[in-house]
Amino acid sequence: MQAYTLKKILFVFFLPVCLAVKAENFSVIKRADSLFSAGLYNEASALYQSELTKGEVATDGMLLKLAYVAEKNNDVPKLLYFLEMYFDRHPNESILQKMNDIARANGLIGYETDDLNYFYLFYKQYGLYVLLALLALGMYVFGIIVVRIYHKESVPQRYKWVAFVYLVTLFIFVNLPEGYQSGIINRDKVLLRAEPSSAAPVIEIISRGNKINILGSADIWLRVFWNDRLYYIRKDDVWVI
């Protein structure tokens, strides 16, 4: 009873604080919107980005405005970063092609319209429908197996193999988004190392704006795939998408 009362007291105490913080954030974003409408793009961009660093979730409109300002300032890496974030929410072939064109014009790598990016586009667009189809297929196959077992009939070996392959496929498909991440190098002369250590040899140096595939992390390091090889890079050198 005392614990419940304490929770209620804490809730009543912190609720006004949370609402005040939310109202303040909303006020800052409204001010940024007004600055953007007035043509003060850099000032608006600074406010938007200050809110993002505080943990505010960017709206679609905010991402497009930040991309617009980055393009006006010829800040190609940030332009690509905000477009990538928008693309992650709204996968579209025209956005993918636009990023590829911008990257090629500026000598940046990782934005190619290759099989991997098209597969990711397909997954983002149709993944839910594929998952529903897999679930329907699974219900059908397991339904047949359950009925045969109920009637004490033998289950053909091929049904068991189909069930096994189905479970493996479903596991991979459901966990695929967690295994794939990408990021953009956020500064020049970033070191790619053979091992997750500052003492490890430097294998390659890449510049700001290039895109990498992230396969995992270890302490302050990211394990990345770049030019068909695995490397380690510091987390603070990457804008993770």
The CA distance from 105 to 41, in Å, is 24
Q: Give the residue from 105, 138, 160 where a domain finishes.
A: 105
User: Could you tell me if 170 and 191 lie in one domain?
Assistant: no
User: Could you tell me if 19 and 101 lie in one domain?
Assistant: yes
User: Could you tell me if 27 and 48 lie in one domain?
Assistant: yes
Q: Which two tokens stand for residue 227?
A: 């030019």
User: Could you tell me if 76 and 148 lie in one domain?
Assistant: no
The CA distance from 61 to 64, in Å, is 5
153-201 pLDDT per residue, tens: 787 788 778 888 888 887 777 776 555 688 999 999 999 999 999 999 9
For residue 169, being part of any structural domain is answered with yes
State the CATH number of the domain containing residue 234.
2.30.30.40
For residue 172, being part of any structural domain is answered with yes
User: Could you tell me if 101 and 9 lie in one domain?
Assistant: yes
Among 57, 64, 2, residue whose Cα is nearest residue 33: 64
The CA distance from 125 to 145, in Å, is 32
For residue 110, being part of any structural domain is answered with no
User: Could you tell me if 23 and 55 lie in one domain?
Assistant: yes
Total number of domains in the chain: 3
User: Could you tell me if 168 and 185 lie in one domain?
Assistant: no
Q: Are 216 and 238 in contact (CB under 8 A)?
A: no
User: Could you tell me if 87 and 7 lie in one domain?
Assistant: yes
Place of tokens 């979730």: 57
Beta bridge partners of 239: 184
Mean pLDDT value of segment 111-125: 72
Q: Give the residue from 71, 105, 139 where a domain finishes.
A: 105
What DSSP designation does 208 have?
T
Q: Which pLDDT belongs to residue 33?
A: 92
The CA distance from 23 to 115, in Å, is 45
User: Could you tell me if 27 and 97 lie in one domain?
Assistant: yes
Whether the pLDDT of residue 1 is over 80: the answer is no
pTM, two decimals, is 0.71
State the CATH number of the domain containing residue 11.
1.25.40.10
Q: Give the residue from 144, 164, 179 where a domain finishes.
A: 179
User: Could you tell me if 128 and 54 lie in one domain?
Assistant: no
| Other Cβ atoms closer than 10 A to 157 | 8
For residue 57, being part of any structural domain is answered with yes
**pLDDT tier at 109, thresholds 50, 70, 90:** very high
Beta bridge partners of 222: 217, 233
User: Could you tell me if 121 and 169 lie in one domain?
Assistant: yes
User: Could you tell me if 129 and 95 lie in one domain?
Assistant: no
Expressed as residue numbers, the domain containing 175 is: 115-179
36-91 pLDDT per residue, tens: 999 999 999 999 999 988 888 889 999 999 999 999 999 999 999 999 999 988 88
Q: Which pLDDT belongs to residue 126?
A: 72
The CA distance from 97 to 74, in Å, is 19
The CA distance from 143 to 104, in Å, is 52
